[in-house]
Structure 1
Amino acid sequence: MATIRQVQVTFDCAEPERLARFWCEVLGYEVPPVPEGFASWDDYNGSLPPEKRDAWFACSDPSGLGPRLYFQRVPEGKTAKNRVHLDVRAGTGLVGAERLAALEAERDRLVALGAVCERVLVADEENESCIGMQDIEGNEFCLD
């Protein structure tokens, strides 16, 4: 029998904490507790050498079911389409107009947080509706 491994999804980004907090709002995830001995993440970051400040941030599913998301600062910006993306399941169990309405409501919530809607794909004979989105740093993801 194969060993099951847990997965962490890592994002290269410009502003790790800002992007992590965005994804917390999208997924209902939580940020880790502030390191011991510090009153806030700002206090912790201020204690680090300048080159290590704001270099990473993480968030995780409070239920323990979803993967941990890790955000690491990199010097280069995003230049091409993601080769891997997250599908946010906002229409599970719904079909047709009911599914599209649920997806559009979630799209509107996420746009208010700074996400961008790229395209709405309406159901056809083969596929259900889904919505292509971008997060606050331009990473593609889908609402499905």
Structure 2
Amino acid sequence: MTTRESIFPAGRQELYTTNGYSAAIRSGDLLFVSGQVGSREDGTPEPDFGKQVQLAFDNLASVLQAAGCTFDDIIDVSSFHTDPENQFATIMAVKNRVFSKPPYPNWTAVGVTWLSGFAFEINVIARIPASTDVPV
């Protein structure tokens, strides 16, 4: 049986503990990252939508780094949008900077009506590189 290990980015574990979930779970060589939003250090939403999207990607990068991964290790992406039609160009600008060259990860985008005060959320599955020094 494969064991599961919780992964937390530095300085944000309290937010996850308060809400009762892990930032990510490592299972074997896979990393399952919980939905990341554009939250500031105190957990509140960044009010500017463009900055909120960038901050969600920054928060995702912190979780990936805590597991010894980068954006290049991402296999699958799901994103959630409260107003996809009007938000798409802003999201794509950030996405295209982060994933600037093939092979691109799988991506599923879903329109939703509620994200607890946020307008964008992203979760991913990544493969943890064999050379990572993160303990199993």
Please indicate, yes or no, whether the TM-score normalized by the shorter chain is above 0.5.
Answer: no
Q: TM-score, normalised by structure 1?
A: 0.34
Instruction: Give the number of the structure whose alpha-carbon radius of gyration is greater.
Output: 1
Larger relative contact order (C-alpha < 8 A, sep ≥ 6)? 2
More helix per residue: 1 or 2? 2
Q: TM-score, normalised by structure 2?
A: 0.36
More strand per residue: 1 or 2? 2
